Amino acid sequence: MDALKCLRSLAIPLAIFAGTFSLAHAAENGASDESLSLAKKVYVGGSGLGVFDISFVDPQIGLYVLSDRTNASIDLLDSNQGIFVGRVGKQCPAGDPAPYFCFQGVQATTSVSGPDGVVIVGHKEIWAGDGDSRVKVISLFTRQFITTISTGGTKRVDEMADDPRDHLLAAANNADTPPFVTIFDTNAKTIKAKLVFQTGSSNADVDAQNGIEQSQWSPQTGLFYISVPQVGSDPSVGGVSVIDPHTMKVTGTFLVKNCSPAGLALGPNHEALIGCSAAFGTPATTQSLIIDITSTNFSLNGAIVATVPIGGSDEVWYDPGTRHYFLAARDNTDSSGKPDPILGVIDAISHKLDPSVPSSTSSHSVAADRYSHLVFLPVGFVSPTSTTPDPNNICPQKGCIGVYLASPENGSSGLAQK
């Protein structure tokens, strides 16, 4: 059995979803608007799901992974059927003795908690950032830690993006001052470069005053892109910086207004969705932006091709199976300015906001499987001491991962709700 088949054995074969493939074909041809229906709730056991961070789907092996801080682990789900298949990791002991084969879990502040950012590299390894400023590499075959690599910072390693063509990975230390991006060689598991996001930096002359956020790598341009919530002293100005993996330098920053860029997803037609956030000291955003990543216009709002009326997102995701963006918009507000958290849906072709579903104020992470058309939205349990209303929380006692089926409006659900 080859490596891909071995990993595929984690999940139920895709043939079970043969009926769903017809839905994908219809969606790819723009047959109708996207709609979401809750298919099931997945409970992860352990101490429940209270605090979590980034999630990721590798559709080639049918696997969803979630950074679960409550259980100090990476949780694994079959992304074809939405079934919990296990977790990797344990709480680090006091003092963090080497070799750091553990995760920090929930600490006094988010900036030193973990795991945080996570991706699957080469369909065979999980690379996860942690609160001790280390990237931790896990084998999917053995479900054991392979190695850990320190970035030399003092705070967490957050969101990251994989460049499989050049075998490079970009990971952000968003909470360090100044923030920085580390470029890793994923074959040698060594550091190739460090890009410090501050004025005067030799390879990243960007005045990032409120950290750096979600990153992506484009197979079309061969470049990395990373959201910067605030560029310069004006908190209303943010951007998306472009990193050339060959020169290991920032080549430009697309500046945007009234957004506080957090989430970033690369879509069709050389476009990218910026999930505008409300988490960085600016008023709640009421928009998301779509930019042309091949534009040479780096001036304020110069690369914008569309504005969509949904704000307050953290992680965002593009699903090529349905050609839709999904947004974990936990800080979205309604027309009167009241909190209105939703799992947002944007048509990547028409740039239209499609029917979306209410979500929890905790739901800031989202990922989707292009083949099964399942969308995964983690939901944290409600603390007994919480004073924040969360009326749309679907699993307030234990927390869970909400699994939604994305289908055309006239389609039928492929899973029964549990």
Specify the pLDDT at position 282: 62
Burial 224-251 (b: 16+ CB within 10 A, else e): bbbbbbbbeeebebbbbbbbebeebbbe
Q: What are phi and psi of 378, to 5 degrees?
A: -65, 145
- Beta-carbon contacts of residue 170 (< 8 Å; ≥ 6 apart): 160, 161, 163, 181, 182, 183, 184, 215, 217, 224, 226, 243, 245
pTM of the model: 0.91
Q: If 0-12 CB within 10 Å is exposed, 13-18 middle and 19+ buried, where does residue 363 land?
A: buried
**What is the torsion angle, in degrees rounded to the nearest 10, for the CA atoms of residue 87, residue 93, residue 94 and residue 100?**
-80
Specify the pLDDT at position 35: 86
Question: How far lies 286's CA from each of 3, 178, 236, 258, 307, in Å?
Answer: 45, 28, 13, 9, 10
Specify the pLDDT at position 119: 98
Question: How far lies 280's CA from each of 26, 122, 180, 229, 241, in Å?
Answer: 39, 34, 17, 7, 18
Please give the structure tokens belonging to residue 224: 């990395």
* 3-class DSSP assignment, residue 237: strand
Q: Is the dihedral of CA 303, 305, 311, 315 positive or negative?
A: negative
Residue type at position 135: V
Specify the pLDDT at position 85: 97
Instruction: Give me the tens of pLDDT residue by residue for the chain, a chain 418 residues long.
Output: 444 444 444 443 333 333 333 333 333 444 457 789 999 999 999 999 999 999 999 999 999 999 999 999 999 999 999 999 999 999 999 888 889 999 999 999 999 999 999 999 999 999 999 999 999 999 999 999 999 999 999 999 999 999 999 999 999 999 999 999 999 999 999 999 999 999 999 999 999 999 999 999 999 999 999 999 999 999 999 999 999 999 999 999 999 999 999 999 999 999 999 999 976 656 668 899 999 999 999 999 999 999 999 999 999 999 999 999 999 999 999 888 899 999 999 999 999 999 999 999 999 999 999 999 999 999 999 998 888 899 999 999 999 999 999 986 444 334 433 3
Specify the pLDDT at position 413: 39
Vertex 31 angle, CA 35 and 266, to 5°:
70
Specify the pLDDT at position 151: 98
CA distance 285 to 364: 15
CA distance 203 to 196: 7
Specify the DSSP class assigned to residue 14.
G
- The answer to whether 53 and 117 have CB atoms below 8 angstroms apart is yes
